[in-house]
Structure 1
Amino acid sequence: MAAALVTLVIAGCGAGPELPPIPEGIPPGPGAVIPVIDLDGPGRTALQLRNWASEQSGTGISSVALEAYGYAAAVMGRAKPECGIGWTTIAGIASVESRHGTHGRSGLDDDGTVRPPIVGIALDGSPGVALIRDTDGGALDGDDVNDRAVGPLQFIPETWKRWGVDANGDGVADPQNIDDAALTAARYLCASGGDLTSEPGWQKALLTYNQSNSYLLTVRHRAAAYSVGRRV
């Protein structure tokens, strides 16, 4: 009897709570409901979501990044309610693109700015790489020969010029700020896919963001994991 009890105790020591399964299907779930906040408040209004973001700690995403994703989804919920974009989709993309602003040696400041800046490889037409000549004189990416994707959501300068928006109230649309980048991504996705609560709309939006089926499936998997509070 004593030996059996010891065995049960030892077996139970390493067992943690059972994780929920990652849901299948497209689109991924919207995740934890975003509380009502003052979307037009002064300064970095995404900060109002700090308590909500802290409750999503199981995802492994920093509070600053989660605040940005939640705020972007909330803004689009008011501006384009027919889009229905979830914060989980934005998070899934940011995970793939930059590990939520932590690619390489980079990290997020409290105001959402990525330091040091994240700059991708030169889009110079090398094998497996698109050819995009410089469109901004190197202003955003430091390259006046070819464009490079920049920031935590990896926008090329030409796309940022058209879609970039200031989301943190500092008067500047900065692709290296996760608030600005998340809301810009949400606007772009909604314009590209229309109804992101439908499978065709979500797929169209993701394939417009990156024309790769494997990319789409990876984003879907990570977004679905976040929708049930799991980290990936």
Structure 2
Amino acid sequence: MSIRDWPADDRPREKLLEHGAQALTDAELLAIFLRIGVAGKSAVELARELLQRFGSVAGVVAAPRDEFCSLHGMGEAKFVQLQATVEIARRALASEMAERPLLNSPDIVKDYLRLSLGHERVEVFVALWLDAQHRLIEMQTLFRGTLAQTSVYPREVVRAALAKNAAAVILAHNHPSGSTQPSQADRSLTRVLKDALALIDVAVLDHCIVGATEAATQGAMPVRSMAMMGEL
């Protein structure tokens, strides 16, 4: 049975229009993106296969180009559309972050970091440079490492802060393993960077750890959906 033959309330597009995007399952959202299925499979069934293959929506987004394009019903056009959709969402969040104090918008910060770092297959260390009103100036990738670690040099972080004329910063890095638990090395690095940046009057507001599906904080932001990982 094709999606056209389903009851109207069960069709992803009609369901979205009636109840909003948040009411759809991951498979239904992907089905709307896919638009059509393949012979013998509806778009929803194809979406479910994608989720099973890559584990989650985040896994689908992070799927290597060659692997994604090799699947029946996919291809470079779908891959490009998916990456463009994710980038549109990331830029929309960045625009919001540039217009409002980030301490009042922890969920936006979390979503932005997940979109920016959740797909990375190696550790990446970034800084969200903020102005005196704690609005985003720019997210800057400072260091890239390996699957398990990255080397961070405080001197280079200080230099970057001065170049951006930042008043504050939210630090972040990802754990490709998916865990958002901070290591002792993560905590020590946070303290070192906080002390170094304090010498040039740049406040470290937070240090977030991003997994494939979540982001956690080590700092003092008034977070709601991000787990507290200890005081800076």
Using the size of structure 2 for normalisation, the TM-score is: 0.25
Flag the structure with more relative contact order, 1 or 2, with Cα contacts below 8 A and sequence separation at least 6.
1
Structure with more strand by fraction: 2
